[in-house]
Amino acid sequence: MTAPQPKTGIGGLIARARRPDRDEIESLRLGVPYWFVVIVLLGFASFQIWMNPFGFSDLVQRYSQDVSDLLITGPYFYGTEGRDNVSVAIIDENTLHTLRAPWPWKYGDHARVLDALLQYKPKAVVLDFLFVDSRPDDTLKDLIGEIGRYKKAGVPIYFEGGVNLPYGENPLRPEIAKTGVPILDPNIPINAGVARQYNGTGECFNQKPDADGTCPSLALRVFRDVYKNRYKLAHINDMIELVWGTRTAPENKWITHSGADGSRHSCFEQMNALRRWYLAFFNTQAVKSPCPYTAEIPVDALLLTPDDKDVVKMAANRVIFYGGAIEAAQDKVYTPVNSLLHGVFVHAMAMDNLITFHGQPYQNAVTVRGWPVDGNLVQIFAVIPVILILSWIHWRGVRRKRLGQVVRAPERGAPVEYFLEKTAEKVWHYLAFGLALGVGLVLTRSAGLSVANWVEVVFVSVELAAMLLVGVPDSIWGYLHHVAGGMPRLEPAAVPALAPVEERAS
């Protein structure tokens, strides 16, 4: 009785697809070509990075950015040049209590604070208040007069404009807008309640658009005006990736915070490095600082003790953001390194980044030959060298198995040979991971791409290595060729057996 002949045509293809011959596939998979391994890995990596399945890419990027700020960049590699040139003047509950003042303040009260700041000759002052309500206040003329004094002194002063106001109000009271004071967009992008990025552009209001038809966001406009003769501001393709420092300004020694036990603690309490790293992964909130990175000037000290040396240091020749920290305002955000902070500190940190990086902040997109390139595309190009190396290592191993070229030295035992083979394999894999890190660091240093936008390359490399360890590309190759049919069975070349000991001896 003759054996049944394999089916041909569409019927045979469907039959082989439904009931594959595993032995045939095992033979065919040894013939996988190098280019096929590369294509499979590149396709998987591109899908993982570009399509962001289950939000994996976003989670990896933001988590990596947070860890970097909290444990690496913030405490060790982020400079203090920006911190030494930016301050925040704050009105909080303590200010209202000390001055016995109600809230909201009159325009004349704000004028008093601005006048006090002007005495220190700051580089610029940015008001983080929205003056949009046309409420009756006979001290409005005092604020308008103070704007005139700033212009006369040559100190830039900026007001924020309301965006998407519910009843069509003017972005700034017309009486103030008529002075010609620059009106800036105060919007801050928040991701899951955390401020990690900063807009590159915003509403123009009374600004003249740039050549590309856009207007810079708040911090970028102030930086460009104040530091135009010192640093050249890079073109921001999309958003700035904020780097948050962890070393609180030394002038903040007056700030204390309440601990879990209700006792007061200083902002400068030290934590053991090992404990810090452990808590960063298992109890992140315990590592985050409740104190701001930027020097904070209490407005009551500014008005009542103007000669205090710390007040003088924090106010003189600095870019000052003047805002409120009133609990009822609910203007708070989390940062990668802080517990809740008021929104004015985000603008201050963006300015800090611009100064520290000399106008070349980290971005989530880069420019290649004048064209902006999305961070996802950059990551795909960055992972290609890793794919080429991993694929070559894997293909060489499969090829040796197919050709039967695994030769063991007679003086080495099987366990030693296995150990050496696995060690060499891991060394090559770690070389590929190191290459991924190297490519990312080059992108950071030369192109200004943030850690958040290339670190996924390392995570994807781990996934690719796992795919190769279980033989995914060659299994796909073997299955597809088995289903297609007509491919000859690939037999490994025979390895010559060693003669018996007795024969060799004779």
Structure token digits, residue 132:
């949009």
Q: Name, in order, each residue with C-beta under 8 angstroms of 393's C-beta and a sequence gap of 6 or more.
A: 425, 428, 429, 432, 468
Cα torsion 323, 181, 125, 316: sign: negative
Of 364, 391, 414, which residue sits at a domain end?
364
334 lies in the same domain as 197: yes
Q: How far apart, in whole angstroms, are the C-alpha atoms of residue 385 and residue 433?
A: 10
Q: How much of the chain, in percent, has pLDDT values that exceed 70?
A: 81
Identify the pLDDT of residue 317.
95
Does residue 10 form part of some domain?
Answer: no
400 lies in the same domain as 423: yes
Identify the pLDDT of residue 493.
44
Number of structural domains the chain divides into = 2
126 lies in the same domain as 205: yes
Does residue 209 form part of some domain?
Answer: yes
pLDDT, mean of residues 293-307? 92
- Identify the residue with better confidence: 352 or 261: 352
Nearest alpha-carbon partner for 186 in 83, 323, 94: 323
203 lies in the same domain as 234: yes
CB 429 within 8 A of CB 393: yes
Stretch among 86-100, 380-394, 486-500 having the lowest mean pLDDT: 486-500
Does residue 499 form part of some domain?
Answer: no
271 lies in the same domain as 155: yes
Identify the pLDDT of residue 63.
80
Stretch among 177-186, 278-287, 389-398, 448-457 having the lowest mean pLDDT: 448-457
163 lies in the same domain as 234: yes
Q: Name, in order, each residue with C-beta under 8 angstroms of 291's C-beta and a sequence gap of 6 or more.
A: 248, 252, 255, 257, 267, 338
Reported confidence tier of residue 182, pLDDT bands at 50, 70, 90: very high
Structure token digits, residue 291:
């104190």
CB 90 within 8 A of CB 296: yes
Pairing, β 183-184 against β 157-160: parallel
Identify the pLDDT of residue 91.
93
- Identify the residue with better confidence: 483 or 228: 228
Does residue 177 form part of some domain?
Answer: yes
Stretch among 158-167, 209-218, 492-501 having the lowest mean pLDDT: 492-501
pLDDT, mean of residues 113-132? 95
Of 336, 364, 392, which residue sits at a domain end?
364
413 lies in the same domain as 355: no
CB 205 within 8 A of CB 185: yes
Structure token digits, residue 381:
């190009």
Does residue 192 form part of some domain?
Answer: yes
179 lies in the same domain as 321: yes
Any idea what DSSP says for residue 449? B
Of 302, 336, 364, which residue sits at a domain end?
364
**pLDDT tens digits, one per residue of 163-180:** 888 877 889 999 999 999
For the CA atoms of 292, 297, 301, 303, what is the dihedral angle to 10 degrees? -150
Does residue 9 form part of some domain?
Answer: no
CB 314 within 8 A of CB 295: yes
Structure token digits, residue 444:
């950071």
Does residue 11 form part of some domain?
Answer: no
Q: How far apart, in whole angstroms, are the C-alpha atoms of residue 216 and residue 202?
A: 6
29 lies in the same domain as 172: no
Identify the pLDDT of residue 165.
82
Q: How far apart, in whole angstroms, are the C-alpha atoms of residue 239 and residue 236?
A: 7
Reported confidence tier of residue 368, pLDDT bands at 50, 70, 90: low
**pLDDT tens digits, one per residue of 492-504:** 444 444 444 444 4
Does residue 128 form part of some domain?
Answer: yes
138 lies in the same domain as 92: yes
**pLDDT tens digits, one per residue of 74-98:** 888 899 999 999 999 999 888 999 9
101 lies in the same domain as 29: no
Q: Which domain holds residue 445?
A: 20-51+372-449+455-493
**pLDDT tens digits, one per residue of 228-245:** 999 999 888 888 989 999
pLDDT, mean of residues 9-14? 69
318 lies in the same domain as 438: no
Stretch among 203-217, 407-421, 445-459 having the lowest mean pLDDT: 407-421
**pLDDT tens digits, one per residue of 330-340:** 678 999 998 88
Q: How far apart, in whole angstroms, are the C-alpha atoms of residue 13 and residue 273?
A: 62
Predicted confidence (pLDDT) at residue 406 exceeds the cutoff of 50: no
Identify the pLDDT of residue 175.
94
